[in-house]
Amino acid sequence: MLFLRFLEEEKLLDNQAKYAIEMRNVTKTFGSVVANHNVNLDLREGEILALLGENGSGKTTLMNMLSGIYFPDSGEIHVHGKEVSIRAPKDAFDLGIGMIHQHFKLVDVLTAAENIVLGLPGGVRINRKALSEKIREISSRYGFDIDPDKKVYNMSVSEKQTVEIIKVLYRGADILILDEPTAVLTPQETDKLFRILKAMKKDGKAIIIITHKMNEVLSVSDRVTILRKGEYIATVNTAEADKQSLTDMMVGHSVSLSIDRPVVEKKECRLSVRNLTCLSEDNVPAIRDVSFDAMGGEILGIAGIAGSGQKELCETLAGLYPAQPGSSIVFHRPEGGDEELVGHTAAELQKNGINISLAFVPEDRLGMGLVASLDMVDNLMLRTYRDHSGPFVDRKAAADVATRLVKELEIVIPGIHTPIRRLSGGNVQKVLLGREIEGNPHILVVAYPVRGLDINSSYTVYNLLNEQKKKGVSVIFIGEDLDVLMEISDRVMVLCGGEVSGIVDPRTTTKEEIGMMMVHVDNDRKENQA
């Protein structure tokens, strides 16, 4: 009886709810590929709805139809109870729908205020004083902290995101879509963003967040909608869900969510970095006096907010970025002997017969890592073709390696001669990791290896890194998800503004402490760790 009464109450509440968005049986295809098939989604006024799904599940396509980038092949979209046709982003804006993309769409040389009104009718002739007052009024209402006159190029990532949110609010949006809003934020910035979202929810705003981070889903959302392979699976109340149940629905079967951290008893120092300094394109220090040791048989996690020198650090270690005089990177051979790497490119080290194998998985998979137009075989050969003498290259050997990697890494690919650009992000990453690991490296540097990957692909990557660690490889893991870094790493080095703010044991350090180190350099801690 109690259960029946509960169901009746839930039905009554549902009937009384005012819906900001109702999507019914929405279908979108691209040629023979079905991105969304009869998908249903509803968003209530004054709620935060999380949208979950693996890569390729159709989340982005569905939201792009709400924001006017795509138009559905069939189905209905209702906004505040009225059926609408959204054929362009302008239509979405007119309906009060604003989308904040993961990659910000701001003009760096303009101020916050100028970006907010950019593209609006009369934007050139707008009263700047009135504009600043309205921005400050919006900021005060929801708890934003922004200077309207500050140039975008002087802003932190969090400030840029704030500008994007204020931009859609200024234009009258009462329905907001946020795509991976915490991808590059510190824990403190994430907490601040969630406080703002809850204040907006209290004010009646309807909010959809797309994220892969289960902890965030559980902490900020009211309900969760799950998509799988382009189809609607379920919508559940967050209070009645947990990380395991959401993951199982998203994947379609039970998944273990624990990340292993195997212990390797015998560790040897493989890389000694001392006083490493390199300059940015603007001739200012991108990293300054960075010192650390990388041990074989461990994963050294690198944490820091975006732009703290992670890119320059890993590219310098890989011999792709010049270090300044006084910098030192010493490779310690497993068989004995040291080699100074500063001043030599990776090609020079190989040519001179120095026994070092350093593998590098860059952030830009299809720019720096792989060639999108080439197939898997040719991409594997990019690392080894210099080893062949004479005018002919042995493609059969590379094809055999490709076939083996497809099986071992469970790469979903039509065939080994399929262009890499046709693969999903997770499978592209498996190809890149497989190629680099195939060289039996002493040192493996990976930059954001699971960015944008679904949970299954992410755990495949974690397992690959742990397998290398158990082989005695020194793994340097640059990541953005602190929860993952703290779970998989043996030590975590934190960068702030190009400097080392500390090297800590994740087993005994809190997430909040690391978050503080990401925005503040503790010189005493730095001196003790060096």
- Catalogue all structural domains in the chain, each as residue range(s) with its CATH number: 13-251 (3.40.50.300), 259-357+442-530 (3.40.50.300), 368-439 (no CATH)
pLDDT for position 430? 87
Q: Which two tokens stand for residue 361?
A: 């998985």
Q: Which two tokens stand for residue 479?
A: 């990541």
pLDDT for position 527? 43
Residue 175 pairs in a beta bridge with 97, 206
- 300: Cβ–Cβ under 8 A, 6 or more apart, which residues? 292, 294, 474, 475, 476, 477, 489, 490, 491, 492, 493
Alpha helices (runs of H) in 69-186, residue ranges in sequence order: 89-94, 112-117, 128-142, 157-170
CA-to-CA distance for 180 and 183, rounded, in angstroms? Answer: 6
Q: For residue 44, report the phi and psi dihedrals to the nearest 5 degrees.
A: -85, 155
pLDDT for position 3? 43
CA-to-CA distance for 313 and 497, rounded, in angstroms? Answer: 12
pLDDT for position 366? 79
C-beta of residue 172 within 8 angstroms of C-beta of residue 180: no
CA-to-CA distance for 270 and 471, rounded, in angstroms? Answer: 13
C-beta of residue 26 within 8 angstroms of C-beta of residue 72: yes
Q: What is the mean pLDDT of each run of 10 residues along the chain (530 residues)?
A: 48 64 94 89 96 83 92 95 93 92 84 87 68 87 88 85 90 90 76 91 94 85 93 95 90 81 90 93 88 96 88 89 92 86 71 68 84 91 64 77 88 86 79 89 91 77 92 93 92 94 94 88 51
CA-to-CA distance for 253 and 336, rounded, in angstroms? Answer: 48
pLDDT for position 445? 95
C-beta of residue 80 within 8 angstroms of C-beta of residue 256: no
pLDDT for position 129? 81
pLDDT for position 14? 53
pTM of the predicted model, to two decimals? 0.69
pLDDT for position 75? 96
CA-to-CA distance for 5 and 491, rounded, in angstroms? Answer: 53
